[in-house]
Structure 1
Amino acid sequence: MNKGAVLAGVIGARKPHYDIWGNTVNVASRMESTGVMGNIQVVEDTQLILKEFGFRFVRRGAVYVKGKGDLLTFFLKGREKTGYSDSGSSVPLPHQVLDNS
């Protein structure tokens, strides 16, 4: 898992297909290929954002990522039980728009 900007669009003249590109996609792909089965691996930037919303992590440590060098990574382990619920009073994520009507 990773966060950040991506470029998306249709490519190809004979057999067009939809694709996404960018550093975010590349790092997310590396998180998958260097991961451990049954775990969601994230880089430090993503961990810091999700931690604010009550998610818990275990530090995995530095993982070599082609083209990036060693990146500090974490495994997502769940959500804190207190203070965060899915019933109406949940904290919105940064991309969510609040309806205050």
Structure 2
Amino acid sequence: MAKRQRTVTIDEEILAKVRELADGHLSAVVNAALAEHVDRMARRGALRDLLDGWEQSVGPVGDHDASEAVAAFDELEVPSNGARLPDAAGSPRLRRAICGR
């Protein structure tokens, strides 16, 4: 795949960890992290569309089902900062918790 050079700003602490752990291959680390992030954004977009379709077809998700779904997604994907997804109380809150809107 073709590469393009760009300038990015990175927190000093993160840069120090990358230098320590990645043998000086900063571009490879940044590329891999960005690819993973873009993939996660695409999955969340697809999930958002799926939830919208389900809500239109069968109505809002109940509190119990929403809480179980958030717990399942929480186990699958914990952000690197360690934050946990909040409990949900219905589809709009579930969508915000999982998809950020």
Q: Shorter-chain TM-score: what band? A: under 0.3
Structure having the higher helix fraction is 2
| TM-score, length of structure 2 as denominator length | 0.23
Structure with the bigger percentage of strand: 1
Specify the structure having the higher radius of gyration (Cα): 2
